[in-house]
Amino acid sequence: MTLQNIGVIIVGGGITGISFGRLLQLGGFEDFLILEKEETAGGLCQSQCIKGHVLDLGGGHLLCSRHPEVYDFIFAHIPADEFHTFERVSKIAFDNETVDYPIEYNLWQLPLEKRVDYLTSCMQAARTAEAPENFEDWVRWKLGDAIADKYMIPYNRKVWGVEPNELDTDWLQKIPHHDTRLIVKTCLMGQGDQSVLPSHQTFMYPKRGGFQRIFDAIHDPVQRHARLSNPLINLRRTGDHWVVNESYRTKLVINTIPWGVLHSATHSPPQVSDEVARLRTSGLVVTLHEEAYDHDCHWTYVASPGQPHHREFYINNFAPHSEPNGIFRETNIKRFGGAPDALAVHINEHAYPIPLKGHSEAARQVWTAYANIGVIGVGRWGQHRYYNSDVCIREAMRTAQELLTRGMTLRAGEAISYGSSGLV
Ligand SMILES: Cc1cc2nc3c(=O)[nH]c(=O)nc-3n(C[C@H](O)[C@H](O)[C@H](O)COP(=O)(O)OP(=O)(O)OC[C@H]3O[C@@H](n4cnc5c(N)ncnc54)[C@H](O)[C@@H]3O)c2cc1C
C-alpha cells in the first residue's frame, strides 16, 4: 500500500490538536493532518442543545485565563462581544450546609456551633512543619481536620475516584492561597472576600450555543485537515520516520491523547511502560436534568458521599439563552449508577489526568522518551497535567512556535522543552 507523506500528524482533534493545527496554518505551514477517533471533533470542549438546554458534554466549561495571548488568539476567531462576562458565584454543599466558595473565608455563613468548630479546627492545623507530601495529609495540615473530613477529603474522593492519600500535592495551585488572619477576620466580620478566589473570579461564556463555539471558531479554518472517525491504531518507526495507521509517513507526530492509548498503539515503544502505567486518567459522566431553581449561583461543589455527583451547574445562570431550569451534573464514572430521570447522559472516557503520587516525574520521563524519537506531547494529555483549555492553547502556541522556528525539524536528542508550570 502506498504511504502518503505528511509533514506533521496531529493525533487528537480536541482543542489542543486543532489549535496546534491552526497555529501551524497561521505560520504558513499547511502540510499537516489531524486524526480524530470520533465522528465529531471537539473532545472535552463539545456542547449540544437538548430540548433547548445548552449542555457542555465535558462538564462545566467557562472561559477564564491568565494568559492575554490566549484571549488574543480566541478573540481573533470569535469576537469578544459574543461572550457574556459573569462575576463567579459558586457554593459548597457539605455537612448539611451550603456556603460560598472558598470555604475557609466563608465560615461565617455556618450556624454558630459549626462556625466555632470549623474555625477552631482551622486554627489548630499545624502549619509550622514542612508541607506533607500526600494530598490527604496536606489538607489536614493546611485547613484542619474539620474541613478535611467534611469537605475536602470526601469531595476529592468523589472527583478522582482514588483515595486522597494516593494523590500528590503538586497540582494545588487550583486551591486558594491560605491566609489565617483573613480566615479569622471574615469569620468575625460575617463577610467574605471575593478577591481571594483562586481562579475564575470572573469568567466568560458564549452568548449563543455552548463552550464549543470557541472550539468551532478555531476549527473552521483547519477543518479540511481533520480526518474524523480515524483513530490512531498503529504507530510504527522506520528509519527516521513514523508510519501512522499504515497510511501516512511523517517525521513528526504531535500527541494530544492519553499516553496509555498512544503507547499501546506503538510498535517497539520506548522503555517507559511502567511510567505510562502511572499516568492514569479518570472518566466523567455528565447528565442533564430539568429542576426548578431560583438563585444566581453558577455551580455547586457537592461533597456529600450520599450523592454520586460532585458538581452541578445551573445552566440558565451563565447561558441565559438556554431554557430555564436546566441543570447538569458531573459524576466520576466509577460512582455512576445510572440516571433514569436525566434528559441526556454523556460519558467522557478520559476527563482528568489523575495527579497520583509521582505522576509529574513519570509524565516527564514518558514525554522525553517520546520527544527524542519525534513524538511531542502537548496539552492536558500530551503533558499529562491538569490544564484547562486556555493552557492547552498556550502550550500549543509555545510548541508550534518552537517547531516553526526550527523549520519543523526535530533531531533525536534535540527535544523541545517539556512545558510550563502555569496551572490555571
Ligand atoms: C469537568 C471538566 C471541567 C472543565 N472546565 C474547564 C473550564 O471551565 N475551562 C477550561 O478552559 N477548561 C476546562 N476543562 C479542561 C478542558 O476540557 C481541557 O483542558 C481541554 O478540553 C483538553 O483538550 P485536549 O484537546 O487536550 O483533550 P481532549 O478534549 O480530550 O481531546 C482529545 C481528542 O483526542 C481524541 N482521541 C482519543 N483517542 C484517540 C485516538 N486513538 N486517535 C485519535 N484521536 C483520539 C478524542 O476523541 C478527543 O477528541 C474542564 C475539563 C473537565 C473534564
388: CA distance to ligand 1 center in Å?
A: 9
Residues 262 and 140 sit within 8 Å (Cβ to Cβ): no
Rounded average pLDDT over 266-283: 97
Mean pLDDT value across residues 283-303: 97
In the prediction, which pLDDT does 298 show?
98
Which of these, 174, 384, 367, lies nearest to 282 by C-alpha position? 384
412 class by beta-carbon count within 10 Å (0-12 exposed, 13-18 middle, 19+ buried): exposed
**Which whole number is the average pLDDT over 404-412?**
69
Q: Which atom of ligand 1 is nearest to the CA of 390?
A: 11
Q: Which atom of ligand 1 is nearest to the CA of 44?
A: 29
| Helix locations, 90-211, DSSP H | 112-124, 135-143, 145-147, 153-160, 180-189
Q: What angle do CA 46, 47, 50 make, to 5 degrees?
A: 145
Of residues 143 and 9, more confidence is placed in: 9
Residue 125 has a pLDDT of 85
Using a 6 Å cutoff on CB, does residue 62 contact ligand 1?
yes
61 lines ligand 1 (CB under 6 A): yes
Cα of 111 vs centre of ligand 1, distance in Å, is 40
| pLDDT of residue 331 exceeding 90 | yes
Q: Is 45 in the pocket of ligand 1 (CB under 6 A)?
A: yes
**Confidence (pLDDT) at 421:** 42
Distance (Å) from CA 141 to ligand 1 centroid: 33
**pLDDT at 330 exceeding the cut of 90:** yes
Grid coordinates of 276: 505510562
Angle at CA 100, nearest 5°, toward 98 and 103?
Answer: 90
Find out whether the beta carbon of 281 lies less than 6 Å from any atom of ligand 1. Answer: no
Q: Could you read off the pLDDT of 42-55 as tens digits, one per residue?
A: 999 999 999 999 99
Q: Is the dihedral of CA 405, 410, 412, 418 positive or negative?
A: positive
**Ligand 1 pocket: which of 18, 39, 40, 61 to mutate (most atoms within 8 A of CB):** 61
More confident residue, 1 or 159: 159
393 lines ligand 1 (CB under 6 A): no
User: What's the 14 CA to ligand 1 centre distance in angstroms?
Assistant: 6
pLDDT(123) > 70: yes
Which residue's CA is the nearest one to ligand 1's atom 13? 388
CA angle 141, 147, 148 (to 5 degrees): 55
423 band by pLDDT with thresholds 50, 70 and 90 = very low
Query: Does residue 35 have its Cβ closer than 6 Å to ligand 1?
Result: yes
Percent of the chain residues topping a pLDDT of 70: 92
Stretch (H or E) spanning 20: helix 15-26
User: Does the pLDDT of residue 416 top 90, yes or no?
Assistant: no
Residue 35 has which C-alpha cell?
A: 486524526
pLDDT of amino acid 191: 78
pLDDT of 207 higher than 80: yes
Evaluate: CB of 14 within 6 angstroms of ligand 1. Answer: yes
Whole-number Å distance between alpha carbons of 148 and 159: 15
Mean pLDDT on 305-329: 97
Q: Whose CA is nearest to atom 25 of ligand 1?
A: 14
| Domain 97-196 grouped into CATH 1.10.3110 | yes
Among 175-189, 271-285, 334-348, the range scoring the smallest mean pLDDT is 175-189
Taking CA atoms only, the protein residue closest to ligand 1 atom 36 is 12
* Mean pLDDT rounded to a whole number for the chain: 92
* Residue 378 CA to ligand 1 centre (angstroms): 12
Distance from Cα 59 to the centre of ligand 1, integer Å = 11
Q: Take residue 141 and report the three cell numbers written for it.
A: 495540615
Report the DSSP pairing between strands 252-255 and 202-206: unpaired
Distance 58 CA to ligand 1 centre (A): 8
pLDDT, residue 180, reads 81
- Please tell me whether residue 228 adopts helix, strand or coil conformation: coil
Quote the CA–CA distance of 232 and 18 in Å, as a whole number. Answer: 16
Q: Is a pLDDT exceeding 50 seen at residue 213? A: yes
Q: Residue 179: what pLDDT?
A: 79
User: Quick check: 278 pLDDT over 80?
Assistant: yes
User: What pLDDT does residue 320 have?
Assistant: 98
Would you say the CB of residue 21 lies under 6 angstroms from ligand 1? no
Task: Please tell me the pTM assigned to this model.
Answer: 0.94
Separation of CA 29 and ligand 1 centre (Å): 24
Question: How high is the pLDDT of residue 184?
Answer: 85
Q: Which fold has domain 4-43+208-279+356-405?
A: FAD/NAD(P)-binding domain (3.50.50)
* CA–centroid distance, residue 351 to ligand 1 (Å): 7
132-152 pLDDT, tens digit per residue, is 889 999 999 888 999 999 999
- Please give the average per-residue pLDDT across 351-358, as a whole number: 96
Residue ranges of domains in the chain: 4-43+208-279+356-405, 97-196
CA 232 to chain centre: 22
| pLDDT band at residue 424 using 50, 70 and 90 as cut-offs | very low
Q: Is the pLDDT of residue 415 over 60?
A: no
